Chain A
Amino acid sequence: MDIRELKDTVASSVMWVFSVFVLSLVFFMVGGLFFKAKPIFAIQNIGQLIFTSVWHPSGGKFGMGGFILGSFWVTAIAMIIAIPLSLLTAIYISEYAHRKVRRLAKSGIDLLAGISPVIYGVWGVIVIVPFVRDQLMPFFSRKMPFFPFASDNYTGFSALAGGIVLAVMSFPVMIMIEMEVIASVPLEMREASLALGATKWQTIKCVVLQKAWPGIIAAVILGLSRAFGETMAVLMVAGCALGVFTRSVFDPAYPLPALIANTYGEMMSIPLYDSAILLAALALLIVTICFTAAGRGLLYCVENRSM
């Protein structure tokens, strides 16, 4: 009897240690990155780092404004594409599709979720970049030569290409959560609406979406977080041109994660370069923590509110 209880106690203590480890991992990451990033504050303050865009590491200038702008462009484009598409798809699969189609769709979404980011990058280079270069760019520069379409970048490697690839990468997360919250709207509530003479679509519009709204916002926040942090795929298609101030969807963009990835080789050779890059990583970490906390917190509230 004693040995069994001893095993039990030992086991639970070990598990407790692991739990604390996981908890503290977040703090370790923030702390560790901060520790390595601190030196940069000796020569530039936070305002200069965020708001200027002169990036000249050997001259001690680390203005990340251009990269932050680049991140903003690709993420915004990704969300503009992903939000309506994912929502419409989620509604269709949950509400209208045949049972077998639904199962197939869930497998497909799982598959999309499992594909490596580099593969998305390859696909982007082979399919999306030429599409932007050969179809979209000529059309828009002729018909709509104004902001946000006017550009003199004809390579196709652009914020738009990056945004499109990021949108596709955000689909799985967003669609899965949206489908879950839509399915969680109780059958009896739908029956109540239908019993009053509403059509299926009216029920969806006025009842289901009303109830599922906070969950959908959470899905968007989490998709946004994913798009913001993605590195490899966007690096391969967005152009990553230094010194360009992205002013159009067709201009190249240099998002922050791509900066971190690209400077791998040169990081150690210039003083404070590694500090600056790790500061960028820290910024990325903090932003995604905030997004994730907001999105998950919202989902948690939704779950608990509906008993």
Chain B
Amino acid sequence: MKTKTHISVKKLSVWYGKDQALDDISVDIPDKKITVIIGPSGCGKTTLLKSFNRLIDIHDGVKVSGQVFVDGEDIYSPDVEVTHLRRRMGLLSQRPQVLPLSIYSNVAYGPRLHGIKDRKRLDEIVEHYLKEASLWREVKDRLNSPASRLSIGQQQRLCLARGLAVEPEIILGDEPTSALDPISAERIEQRFGEIKDRYTIVLVTHILRQAKRLADHVIFLYMGKLVEQGSAKEFFNNPRSQMTKNYLEGRFIDSDGALSLPE
């Protein structure tokens, strides 16, 4: 049975000025599954993630070659409306970035941007997605207070609600739990597990255990190059590349003392 591909990356290379962040990456992100991008710090995971919603565009001097197909459409072709593209994806950053607005306005920000003005409709949306992020009960009495007053775990859940409120198809998470305490982290992971049948989820993490817990599909990057990708079961139990084996065992330099590079 062939799994449907939601995002298909073909020979993607990204440069920030003279530094190459990604080198000839070709991967497929399956539909309605959790895909985890892993690798050591600085290997390009975040760049790959942010290339999906073209957030890398905002950096000065960025150069992109290759193609990224979302539902068959190359999102880097010149006639693509970037704001529409981004609306189809929700982003969760490493450190929760609440907007300098009230809790209500944070969640309503996206829908308002896209034209929904009716107050009742917005109320419904805000309540619905705060419940989705399991935050509603804690904040329902203070929707108009500033979002900055929430605890970090609550803020991250607010960001999740906010991201879901634009009704994306894809959720992108850039190490979404690494700034949180264990309990909040667990709640977020739980939510991901519960909503994955409705959204395609791509997560970046450097925590192997988290990857093992959540992943259906894994992509392993090292120094901007793709080392291996595959289903979680194959990846963790039967890795093909020696480098993957080293990484999973916590070793990086192989027995010759040299770094093992992919073929």
Contact = CB atoms under 8 A, between A and B. Distances in A.
Say if the two chains contact directly (CB < 8 Å): yes
A197 B110 contact: yes
Given A195-B89, A197-B110, A206-B109, A186 B83 contact: no
B136 to A, nearest CB: 20
B60 A191 contact: no
Given A188-B95, A188-B97, A191-B93, A196 B58 contact: no
B110 A196 contact: yes
Interface string A125-167: 0000000000000000000000000000000000000000000
A80 interface: no
Interface residues of A, number: 19
Interface string B97-119: 10111000000011001100000
Nearest to A200: B58
A195 B91 contact: yes
Contacts of A189: 97, 99-100
Interface in B72-100: 83-84, 86-87, 89-91, 93, 95, 97, 99-100
A197 B112 CA distance: 11
A186 B95 CA distance: 12
Nearest to A99: B60
A194 interface: yes
Contact of B93 (A99, A192, A206): A192
B163 interface: yes
A199 B89 CA distance: 15
Contacts of B93: 188, 191-192
A241 interface: no
A199 B57 CA distance: 12
B217 interface: no
A207 B101 CA distance: 8
A193 interface: yes
Interface residues of B, number: 26
Given A99-B60, A191-B55, A197 B99 contact: no
Given A188-B95, A189-B97, A210-B100, A197 B83 contact: yes
Contacts of B53: 195
A198 B58 contact: no
B176 to A, nearest CB: 12
B159 interface: yes
Contacts of B172: 195
B110 A190 contact: no
A100 to B, nearest CB: 11
Given A197-B114, A211-B100, A192 B87 contact: no
Which of B83, B84, B89, B159 has the most chain A CB within a 10 Å cutoff?
B83
Contacts of A195: 53, 55, 86, 89-91, 163, 172
A193 B109 CA distance: 9
A186 B97 contact: yes
17 contacts: A189-B97, A190-B58, A195-B55, A195-B86, A195-B172, A196-B91, A196-B110, A197-B86, A197-B87, A197-B110, A198-B83, A198-B109, A206-B101, A206-B109, A207-B99, A207-B100, A210-B100
Given A190-B58, A210-B101, 4 more contacts: A195-B53, A195-B163, A207-B99, A210-B100
Q: Top 3 nearest A-B pairs by Cβ distance?
A: A197-B87, A195-B91, A192-B97
Interface of A: 99, 186, 188-199, 202, 206-207, 210-211
